[in-house]
Chains A and B, each alone.
Chain A
Amino acid sequence: MEPPDDAIPDRPARETLAHLRARIAPAEAASGPVLPLGAPPLDQRLPGGGLALGAPHEIAPEDVGDEAAALGFLLALLARRLAEGPGEALLVLAPGHPLPYGHGLLALGLDPGRLLFLEAGDDVEVFRALEAALQAGSLPAVAGLVAEGLPLVAGRRLQRAGAGTLLLILRPAGAGRPNGAATRWRIAAAPAARDGAANPRPRWRARLERCRNGRTGDWLMEWDGGAHRFDLPHGLAGRAPAAGGTPA
């Protein structure tokens, strides 16, 4: 009896597939250096235990009016990265993004003396500057504050240029588009923590909307600028994801 028609092409196809899988396996498994956020329930969801260095991470405000919260989250990530070692971080700002206020950066635990700024003329210039900074490879962190969002091609170029550098993109609320970002965060303002300390600690409602090779989630995050660490306040930590998340 003859074998079914599809058996003959099936076998080479399966072999090819296995071969291809084997080829891409190292690339997929190779989790390079990461930036842990300091809160285990959060880091467990991220591939490799933190934000992958060298890949673009996209941050967007949840809604119009949450821009300052999203900026604060970005600056907190920069502060955490800069606390790991020496070096400076570069912020490239498209028109519409004002320079942050130095004394306000201090309040977030970020030393303004370790920040470099570049005011770009448009988004294309932002991406060119980021690419140049990534290729130079001397900065531990770079961030681009764009007016339009991260296009697919720019995301790919940045991904190729960056290695070992924390790369953050802050975009306006309504400019989402498919791109090569490793994670996409939606940040909304939340009432600050006031437990008798002199300084209220900022809190943000962070929704991990997309996470390549990881799981999405929704947390109330608290930033401790003195320790450069994110905390998940008690009772709210590890809440079930509100939308788009895969159950554990």
Chain B
Amino acid sequence: MPVALAAAGPGGLRLTAVDAGARALGLRPGEPLGRVRARVGSPLRILPAEPAADAAALERLCLWAQRYTPRVAPFGPGEDAFGLHLDVTGACHLHGGEAGLLDDLERRLAAGGIPARLALADTPGAAYALARFGAAARSHVPPGGTAAALAELPVAALRCDAATVIALKRLGLKRIGALARAPRAPLARRFGAALMMRLDQALGLRPEPLAPIPETARYGAARSFLDPVSRQETIVAVARALMGQIAPRLAAHGLGALALRLSLHRVDGAVKALDLGLASPGRCPDRVAGLLRLRLDRLGAALDAGFGFESIRLDVTAADRMPEAQGMLGAGPAEDGIADGTAALAEALGQRLGRPLLRLGGVASHLPERADRILPWRPGTGPAWSPAPLPPRPVLLLARSEPAEEVLALAPEGPPRRFRWRARLHRVAHAEGPERIAAEWWRADGPARDYYAVECEAGRRLWLYRSGPHAAERPAAWFVHGVFA
């Protein structure tokens, strides 16, 4: 039996949604129920619409769709349909490419009894337009084909309001292609910036941020209060208790939290979110409490409690496998994954100063400025370094090599005898070199450099290089590149 949903609308009950059977009977959403009854008769089941249940079902579908990508957003305002956006950037290859992902999605939705129209395009606007107004139930727009795919769709597909659609029709602009070709300035003046924005978003000329559902629904806990709380110690104590609720669930799955978000809901409706990062997976309530205390110390008065917080929620935003570790004999399993003091320190510094701990890593490159790089600290031993190169390198490498001027050298290819650098004249007492250093053959940038380690009369030692050989009419330039200890 065909099914339709009805809810109170202007002038009494009206249909809000119809299934395929009802559509076949010629029914459309928005029709008054009385007229429907008169026209169709009995073989139709009318159920009351439940918008709240619809929203909950859409949220469940969004959570399910996170199997494809972490960024899933339900349709927003202006998108008058029941659906969701999946940002599959960088996720398609896991499902055999874009077509494979669409196949899989189609099959699983059908197996779940969910009729769906799928569209995959460069922009959310284009995907929406094709899914809602496209001819086929499934469309797949190749990269760069957005404008062509949208050209024949009605302007209503642009997610603009009904009045704009009617006015555009009156102007003869019925298709998106015609609208895109029309002069922009009069249209913008006539319809405001919103229409142009929707057009640009669909065509990918303007970014459209999605509002994905948070990925935090799996491990979280919340507590509400009769009287609002605002004291720091209370917040820390509540967070510790919440982590105590989450920890067994994490432990059951062999996971530890890597990042946590504490949401403080203020009485006036504002939400303060604090993100806590852990250096290694952990689930110990005391560790979380300690981190939060450091974080709140740093915030100080910036944590504007106003009239207090009426509820506090703690969510695990990132988790990782956390192997069970045997603690001290008789003490039961070790509660936490902090292996060494450095991890604890990295975590404490991250919370107290908000700055990451860094390391230096070696890179196999001849060019000195490419031969080391700054890495974020990670648990475990540091990067391995090969033995010191010969001749030795300076302890400070200038961020950019600085020109040395007024260079006087006895021999054209020899070391400098004196030069001016940073407004000071340096007389060279001793020089070692040259050491010729050229970029790798696959990078053809700049001539080879002849490096000299020179010692000035005061004993200060600098690392200079001559950039390439001297030309006949123009002497080669000299640069200071480093300072020895």
Contacts and interface: CB of A to CB of B under 8 A. Distances in A.
B342 A68 contact: no
Given A104-B397, A106-B387, A68 B485 contact: yes
Interface in A97-121: 98-108, 111-121
18 contacts: A68-B394, A69-B485, A75-B395, A98-B396, A100-B396, A103-B368, A104-B396, A105-B395, A106-B388, A108-B485, A113-B384, A116-B377, A117-B360, A191-B459, A194-B430, A198-B390, A202-B484, A202-B485
Given A68-B460, A101-B482, A125-B353, A107 B395 contact: yes
Contacts of B352: 128-129, 132
Given A68-B484, A125-B353, A129-B349, A136 B372 contact: no
A71 B355 contact: no
A106 B391 CA distance: 11
Contacts of B355: 118-121, 125, 129
A32 interface: no
Interface in A58-102: 65-69, 71-73, 75-76, 88, 90, 98-102
B345 A133 contact: yes
A75 B396 CA distance: 12
Given A104-B394, A113-B359, A133-B345, A138 B340 contact: yes
Nearest to B382: A113
A246 interface: no
A39 interface: no
Contact of A68 (B382, B383, B396): B396
Counting chain A CB atoms within 10 Å of each CB, the highest count among B349, B382, B429 belongs to B349
A199 B390 contact: yes
Contacts of A194: 430
Nearest to A110: B395
A112 B485 contact: no
A191 B484 CA distance: 11
A132 B349 contact: yes
B394 A189 contact: no
A137 interface: yes
Interface string B451-485: 00101001111000000000000000000001111
Given A136-B348, A190-B459, A116 B393 contact: no
Contacts of B382: 88, 111-115
A105 B389 CA distance: 11
Counting chain A CB atoms within 10 Å of each CB, the highest count among B355, B392, B432 belongs to B392
A237 interface: no
B396 A71 contact: yes
A104 B385 contact: no
Nearest to B386: A106
A68 B483 contact: yes
Nearest to B396: A68
B485 A111 contact: no
A176 interface: no
Interface in B97-155: none
A200 B372 CA distance: 23
A161 interface: no
Given A71-B485, A104-B395, A107-B393, A113 B385 contact: yes
A160 B196 CA distance: 64
A52 interface: no
Contacts of B361: 102
Nearest to B375: A117
Contacts of B389: 103, 106
Interface residues of A, number: 55
Contacts of B340: 138
A106 B360 CA distance: 12
B344 interface: yes
A139 interface: yes
Interface string A166-196: 0000000000000000000000111110100
B296 to A, nearest CB: 15
A121 B355 CA distance: 9
B351 to A, nearest CB: 10
Interface in A108-167: 108, 111-121, 125, 128-129, 132-133, 136-139
A75 B485 contact: yes
B341 A136 contact: yes
A69 B483 CA distance: 9
A103 B348 contact: no
Contact of A139 (B341, B372, B396): B341
Counting chain B CB atoms within 10 Å of each CB, the highest count among A104, A111, A115, A192 belongs to A104
A193 to B, nearest CB: 11
B449 to A, nearest CB: 16
A99 B388 CA distance: 18
Interface in B330-369: 340-342, 344-345, 348-349, 352-353, 355-362, 368
B344 A136 contact: yes
B68 to A, nearest CB: 39
Contacts of B342: 88, 116, 138-139
Given A118-B355, A199-B390, A137 B341 contact: yes
Given A113-B383, A115-B359, A118-B358, A72 B485 contact: yes
A41 to B, nearest CB: 21
Counting chain A CB atoms within 10 Å of each CB, the highest count among B361, B391, B395 belongs to B395
Nearest to B485: A72
Interface in A213-234: none
B360 to A, nearest CB: 4
B353 A101 contact: no
